Structures are given as C-alpha cells and as structure tokens.
Structure 1
C-alpha cells in the first residue's frame, strides 16, 4: 500500500470553510478511521463472505482481526 507523500489536509469537520478542498486534494480511497467509526472505536468489515473487526486501541493503533 502506498500513501500520499504530502500530509493530509485539515479535516473538513474541523474547519467549516473547507469548501470542498478535501475532496479535490486527496484520492477518494483514503478514509479516516474516525469517519468510519463515528460512534465508537470499532467497525465490522465483510470481505468475501468473512467478517473482520477493525478496532482502535487505547494507544491509537489499529488492529484487524477475523
């Protein structure tokens, strides 16, 4: 997996005057975890009939388990 060489732009939720800058500067496949897990610290992902749990630890790390 490759990541953009430039830092992520500010979160539009943190800046009401973003005016769509976020969608123009970053590839649409990059999604912040906090946007996926809006109401908690985990999400469940279905992939090819299998369920995976992606959760954030207290230290801010992500763990993916079957």
Structure 2
C-alpha cells in the first residue's frame, strides 16, 4: 500500500435510500436489532 494515499474513503449513503420513503428501519448487528428513525423534527435516533 502506498503510504501517501491515506485511508480509504468512508462510504456515505443518503438516509432516504435506506428508509425507502419510510420513517424508520431495523438494523441487525451481531444478532441484535436496532431501530433507526426520523423524528417529527427531522432528527435521527438510533435505539436498541
């Protein structure tokens, strides 16, 4: 690896792509379920 190239870019995804028109989705990580939702004020909340 070329030391001057730096770290690879972090992937970015628009929330609208993830939610597909909805306001929440479930993310499964290590067999645990997390809920990502958009609040009435447009903020994101991730809960277990």
TM-score range, shorter chain: 0.7 to 0.9
Work out the number of aligned pairs and report it.
Answer: 40
Which one has more relative contact order, counting CA pairs under 8 Å at least 6 apart? 2
Higher fraction of helix: 1
Structure 1 residue 39: Cα displacement: 3.0
TM-score, normalised to structure 2, is 0.74
Structure 2 unaligned spans of 5+: 1-8
Indicate the structure (1 or 2) with the bigger Cα radius of gyration.
Answer: 2
Structure 1 unaligned spans of 5+: 1-26
RMSD: 1.3
Following TM superposition, the consecutive aligned residue runs of length 4 or more in structure 1 with deviations greater than 2 angstroms are none
